Amino acid sequence: MDHNILLEAGTNELEIVIFQSGPFIFGINVMKVREIITMLPLTPLPGTPEAIMGLIELRGEVMTVIDLPMVIGHPRDVGDNDRLIVCEFNGEKSVLRVDQVTEIKRISWEQIDTPSDLARGMQGITNGVVKTGDQMIILLDYERIALELSRKDIMARESVKRLGARERSNKHVWIAEDSEMLRTLIIDTLDDAGYFNTTIFNNGKEALDAFEQSDVHCDLLITDIEMPQMDGLHLTKRLREMDRFADLPIIIFSSLISDDLKHKGDAVGANAQITKPEIGMLIATLDEFLA
């Protein structure tokens, strides 16, 4: 995948790879896509969930293939035109099997609506919908699929519990995160770690609206990058333009933190950037800023 199309930090825009699986049209952030290839020979894995098709080897790397038709409840046999989308999450690569890939499209986060309760019911893998022309594109919650199949969310929270009893903190922590699963994980883990005074926002726009009020009690902000209406980079940029939040500790907690993308968070003034779901590192960073 050609990453010369990276967008300037804080523009509130993204580019998505559009593809089809079953009767649905999906999109995934191009920043998560490493390449798109044709089907390769599969090695089955015994004892894994049905959605795990098996393993492939690509240029010496072994990767797990996730069967998206199975995940969305429309299982089918492998077809001649199927494509494999090689994705990267938390430094690990995995592969989505889909029907076909059609195009790359640039959109604004303002075009993305939070899915309705009915849309969320699609196996919980939707974190936004966007209408472009005559298409309704479902933004795939790839992180949730990867986390649930690997159960790294459970392991991450257990690592914090092993820290033992901790003193309670009265510091106010605000969180901007659109994934219901990740919101629950963050809030529960912060509570385990002694940070019980939390305020949650479903996207960057909601958070910015709250920051623009005159009476704000926030000691630290944790923000995702990918969110409907306003992404976390644009939120951070807007806050740094306000004198009263110039020194507010801001931690970006996102699956888009990598060596070739970290400069974007630096450019908008984030104090720290942590890759999901490394929540133990998130707690350690909170301790550092809020001690």
Q: Is the pLDDT of residue 277 over 80?
A: no
C-alpha closest to that of 90 among 4, 180, 152: 152
pLDDT at res. 129: 85
Q: Which residues contact 74 (CB under 8 A, 6 or more apart)?
A: 21, 22, 23
What span, in angstroms and rounded, lies between the C-alpha atoms of 229 and 205?
A: 6
- 9 pLDDT band (50/70/90 cuts)? low
Amino acid at the residue 147: L
Percentage of the chain surpassing pLDDT 90?
37
What span, in angstroms and rounded, lies between the C-alpha atoms of 151 and 145?
A: 10
Which residue do the tokens 């936004």 mark?
Answer: 128
CB 122 within 8 A of CB 22: no
More confident residue, 80 or 246: 246
pLDDT at res. 157: 55
Q: Is the pLDDT of residue 114 over 50?
A: yes
pLDDT tens-digit series, residues 18-58: 999 988 999 998 888 899 999 999 998 888 888 889 999 99
Percentage of the chain surpassing pLDDT 70?
85
Q: Which domains does the chain have, with CATH numbers?
A: 13-151 (2.40.50.180), 165-290 (3.40.50.2300)
Q: Is the pLDDT of residue 167 over 70?
A: yes
pLDDT at res. 2: 42
Please tell me the pTM assigned to this model.
0.74
pLDDT at res. 206: 94
Q: Is the pLDDT of residue 243 over 90?
A: yes
Which residue do the tokens 């020979």 mark?
Answer: 41
More confident residue, 116 or 182: 182
pLDDT tens-digit series, residues 169-224: 889 999 999 887 788 889 988 988 889 999 999 999 999 999 999 888 999 999 99
pLDDT at res. 3: 43
Q: Please, what's the b/e burial string for 82-119 (b: 16 or more CB within 10 A of its CB; e: otherwise)?
A: bbbbbbbbbeeebbbbbbebeeebebebebbebbeeee
Q: Is the pLDDT of residue 61 over 80?
A: yes
| Pair of tokens at residue 82 | 């199927």
Arithmetic mean of pLDDT, 99-103: 91
Q: Give the pairing type, strands 220-223 and 173-176.
A: parallel
Which residue do the tokens 């994980």 mark?
Answer: 185
More confident residue, 80 or 102: 102
| Pair of tokens at residue 92 | 């690990």
More confident residue, 176 or 112: 176
Task: Print the SS3 string covering the chain.
Answer: CCHHHCCCCCCCEEEEEEEEECCEEEEEEHHHEEEEEECCCCECCCCCCCCEEEEEEECCEEEEEEEHHHHCCCCCCCCCCCEEEEEEECCEEEEEEECEEEEEEEEEHHHEECCCHHHHCCCCCEEEEEEECCEEEEEECHHHHHHHHHCHHHHHHHHHHCCCCCCCECCCEEEECCCHHHHHHHHHHHHHCCECCEEEECCHHHHHHHHCCCCCCCCEEEECCCCCCCCHHHHHHHHHCCHHHCCCCEEEEECCCCCCCHHHHHHHCCCEEEECCCHHHHHHHHHHHHC
> What order of strands is seen across the sheet that includes strand 13-21?
100-108, 13-21, 24-29, 135-140, 126-132, 112-113
pLDDT tens-digit series, residues 119-165: 554 546 777 788 777 778 888 887 777 777 665 555 555 666 666 65
